[in-house]
Amino acid sequence: MPTENTNYDEAQVPTYTLPEALLRENGEPVTDAPTWTQTRRPEILQLFKTHVFGEMPAALPNTRFVVSEEGQALGGRARRRQVSVYFTADNDGPGMDILLYLPADAKGPVPVFLGLNFFGNHTVLLDPEIHLNPRWMRAEEKNGIVDNRATIDSRGCLASRWCVDEVLARGYGLATVYSGDLDPDYDDGYQNGIHPLFFKEGQTRPAPNEWGTIGAWTWGLSRAMDYLQTDAEVDRARVAVLGLSRLGKTSLWAGACDERFALVISNESGCGGAALSRRRYGETIKDINETFPHWFCDNFRRYNNAENEQPIDQHMLLALCAPRPLYVASAVDDRWCDPRGEFLAALAADPIYRLLGTQGLPAEEMPAVDQPVMGHIGYHIRSGGHDLTAYDWAQYLDFADMHLSI
């Protein structure tokens, strides 16, 4: 949260120079697509693994997908599928639950939006058939979370963030997973999520260059993608990944690490997501590491109050999504997430998109509020504060129509 040292004054943004995305580690410029794809992109990806998000393990060999429930929803307009994902041979061991809605009138496989949620699958729609998640959740009584557990009052409490009916009406499916199935969002020493499945003998926490909680959430998105690749009603070549806030940081990292995602959406992801860290506007690296020490790898703490020492900045994270379509969204009242820093990161990723033969971002100046711009990079800053709204979804659906239509 903001402190007395938080900067919200553009005049106080320090002078900075961004690292060159199109300059190899050996100093040679990147001037063609093969050099980007084969050399520079892997260099940047490794820098983010080492310094920000940490190394992630591969999928576990015993992973199983079990359809636990199927039925109609939304008055017959949708088909609902709930899938239990087990990461070990033990059904009582770590796992996650995927909730998938598909348009009932689809004539073939459909493109799907996939995103993590904050308080359980049962919160995305007032549908009594969705399993009530029993895991730990951040206490938030207004959303029906009491003593860190969901109650029936939490059903559908965040439906406004998911716009399920509107998504289905446009011909898309929607899939979601509770982030806490993978790792709870508090500093528990990485003991209550999936990390212990990968600890070596004698290890009790990830090494400084290994994954934190955002890495675990990202790993889970790829496991959900593994399932979607097997579902005959899903167009596996047209799956978009999206997220809000900390889960927007996660969607960007998932898009960077897993190129099966055909489209990537960051909704107000801020520091460690789409916003340039060197601006030190709103939330800073020090703020985020001290408030949420479990999110990133321990190496990221080296850059508390030392943003200019990073070998990367967030425009390079966005560039890792190229040439796949990328949408970055901000909100005018969400200064903590630095809307201008998010736009400038998208603008700085534009040369990579153009090098790879796409339009990139069709704007050189930050657009007016509620006036989206859409090329192969899309951007808008909407009215209001930190949230995922119907307005945001309307832009994402239009953007998906541009890029995922057959």
Residue pair 116/250 in contact by the 8 Å Cβ criterion: yes
- H or E element that contains 239: strand 234-244
Which of 294, 307, 274 is CA-nearest to residue 210? 294
Pairing of strands 110-117, 234-244: parallel
Rounded to the nearest angstrom, the gap between the alpha carbon of residue 221 and the centroid of all alpha carbons in its chain is: 9
The secondary structure of 348-365 as a DSSP string is HHHHHHHHTTS---S-SS
Query: What is the model's pLDDT at position 92?
Result: 85
Query: What is the model's pLDDT at position 406?
Result: 62
Does domain 21-53+262-406 fall into CATH 3.40.50.1820? yes
Which residues in the chain show pLDDT less than 50?
A: none
The H-assigned helical ranges of 110-212 are: 164-169
Radius of gyration of the chain (CA): 20
Task: Provide the 3-class DSSP secondary structure of residue 26.
Answer: coil
Q: Which one from 179, 245, 266, 277 is the annotated catalytic residue?
A: 245
The residues pairing with 244 across neighbouring beta strands, listed in sequence order, are: 267
Task: Provide the 3-class DSSP secondary structure of residue 205.
Answer: coil
Domain spans, the chain: 21-53+262-406, 60-210
Q: Which one from 84, 131, 222, 386 is the annotated catalytic residue?
A: 386
- H or E element that contains 213: helix 213-228
How many residues in total does the chain contain?
A: 406
Predicted TM-score (pTM) of the model is: 0.98
Token digits of residue 130 = 């969705």
Residue with tokens 């601006």: 279
Token digits of residue 309 = 């020492």
Q: pLDDT tens-digit profile of 177-213?
A: 999 999 999 999 999 999 999 999 999 999 999 999 9
- Residue 84 catalytic? no
- Residue 376 catalytic? no
Q: How far apart are the C-alpha atoms of 57 and 48, rounded to whole Å?
A: 15
> Which pairs count as long-range contacts for 67-73, CB under 8 Å and 24+ apart, including other chains?
68/97, 68/131, 69/129, 69/131, 71/129, 72/104, 73/101, 73/125, 73/127, 73/129
